[in-house]
Amino acid sequence: MVDMSTGLACLALALLLLPPAAARRRFASSGIRRAPQPTGGSPTNTGSPWWTAGATPLLTGDSSRRAGGRSVPRRWPLLSAHRAEATCLLATAAATLLGASAAIATGILACTILIRIRRSRTDRARETGSADLLDALELVIAELQVGAHPGAAAESAATDARGEAATAFAVAAARGKLGGSAADGLERPTSPIAPELARIATAWRIAEEHGLALAELLTAARTDLHARQRFRSRTTAALAGARATATVLAALPILGIALGHLMGAAPLRVLLGTGTGTLLLPLGATFACAGLLWTDAITRSVLP
């Protein structure tokens, strides 16, 4: 039984450290893009697990950034399928070796780590996308101020911009050429910068419906977006201490178990070998993880 658990743990570690296949890396670096999704419906994502919901696909139209004429592919998502399999194998190994209570505690800890990593990736994507959107807005405003048509300005920004902003302005320019509303193309509910794009779309729609100067509205929207981004950065930096304190407090039980072993109290024997311990171990893991997620929810609620 111990040998089986050791084998499962080694297999889980191998899955965690497994790099992408060489063929997939070559395919990603070739610049080939995925075929566009059919219009009139939502993208097909019925088979995706919950931990990859909202993650940016690797081979989308905006999956690479232009840097000096080269196509630079994005890194693979941290929450890939083999990491989920490794989490399940770790829980299975813990259940085989230490019992059901250890497996439950391992699963709770693994899910909490996956959720926090996913949120961290989303925050980084939003920060990068906001910076790209500021650059794209500057290009659009410059084109409008020299008398360019809004559709041509959006197309120019889509050519020179990067990331989600380039995709949004490309769709807006295409809608404008087809006689539709460019503002509708700027709205992307699944994008990491959906709130920022929604504000730009609102300003664009007001200019279309009431005949106002689009350059002035976009300038005001860009100023507001820049102020929000600066406030978000300052608030995130100010809350870093609170988040670090919450992480340290959540890890204190592990330090307590280690100190108990040094004192000869054998806390793991109590947690894994008694009826009360089998209840306290998953309960303690639940409280610690709930505290971390609660702290994240409180600190994220003050961010714009």
By the 8 A CB rule, do 35 and 43 touch?
A: no
Encode pLDDT of 239-249 as tens digits.
888 888 888 88
What is the sign, positive or negative, of the torsion defined by CA atoms of 24, 30, 33, 35? Answer: negative
Q: What is the mean pLDDT of residues 209-220?
A: 89
Q: Which of 262, 256, 300 is nearest to 115 (CA)?
A: 300
By the 8 A CB rule, do 94 and 103 touch?
A: yes
Encode pLDDT of 41-71 as tens digits.
434 344 444 444 444 333 333 433 433 333 3
In this prediction the pTM is: 0.64
Encode pLDDT of 225-274 as tens digits.
999 999 989 998 898 888 888 888 888 888 888 888 888 888 888 888 77
Q: How confident is the model at residue 73 (pLDDT cuts 50, 70, 90)?
A: very low
